[in-house]
Each structure stands twice: as C-alpha cells, then as structure tokens.
Structure 1
Amino acid sequence: MDVNPQHLQDKARQFQENVVPQLDEARRNLEDLNTRVVSFIRANPGTCLLGAVAVGFIVGRIASRR
C-alpha cells in the first residue's frame, strides 16, 4: 500500500478547515450556556439549592441499591 504524503497533508488540511470552525462554534455555544446558567443560579439560588438536594437524594437512593 503506497501512501502519498501530499495526499495525507491535503486530507489533514481539509479536516482542519472543517473541524476548527465547528469547535469554535461549540466553544461559543458553551460559553453562552454557561453565562445563562450562572445568571439563572444568581437569580434563583433557593430553587437551585433545592434542585441540587433533590438530585443528590435521588443519586444517593440509586447508589444505595447496589
């Protein structure tokens, strides 16, 4: 099997051109989501605390079954 280095470089460059913009968009989306979640938590700390307690209780119940 003969591997052409130029062909590999072209494929790698094409892959990079396709993936880098998607990674940048995903990073921006995650930063936006983080900003919204932090804002929600700051506006509703009690609700978030109760939710965390409820999730912890459920996880504890599931873990204790084993």
Structure 2
Amino acid sequence: MEMNPQQIQDRAREIQERIVPQIEEARRNLVDVNTRVVSFIRANPGTCLVGAVALGFLIGKIASRR
C-alpha cells in the first residue's frame, strides 16, 4: 500500500492530534507529582535525608557485589 505525500501528511496530523493531548496531560501530571514531592520534602526533611542515605547504602551494597 503506497501512500502519496498528502496522505502521509494527513496521517501525521491525525497522529499528532491524538498524541499532543496525551503528552500535555502527562506533563501536567508530572508537574503535579513534582509539586507534591517538593512539598513533602520541605515538610519532612529529616525523614527524606534518612531515606536517601538508606537508599544510597542499599545501592552501594548491590553495586559492590559485582
């Protein structure tokens, strides 16, 4: 099935019209998650610091096994 340039352009436009709203929604969701994470870190800096240290320790242990 061969497509002419106009058909290709129309198909690309259809795909763009479907994908752009999904990308915008994903961007809004990521901004929302980032805002909540930053708020949590500001409200609980000690807990986050201990968690980061623990996570770093576990990653270091796993990496040193190789």
TM-score tier, shorter chain, comes to over 0.9
Structure 1: distance between partners of 2:10 and 2:53: 52
Q: Which residues of structure 2 form unaligned runs of 5+?
A: none
1:44 match? 44
Query: Structure 1: which amino acid aligns with 2:36?
Result: R
1:24 match? 24
Structure 1: distance between partners of 2:2 and 2:32: 46
Query: Structure 2: which amino acid aligns with 1:3?
Result: M
> Number of residue pairs matched?
66
Structure 1: distance between partners of 2:61 and 2:5: 56
Structure 2: distance between partners of 1:33 and 1:2: 44
Root mean square deviation of aligned Cα: 1.0
Structure 1: distance between partners of 2:25 and 2:53: 33
Using the TM superposition, name which of 3-12 and 51-60 deviates more. Answer: 3-12
Q: Which residues of structure 1 form unaligned runs of 5+?
A: none
The list of structure 1 runs, each at least 4 consecutive aligned residues, that deviate by more than 3 angstroms after superposition, is none
Query: Structure 1: which amino acid aligns with 2:23?
Result: L
2:63 match? 63
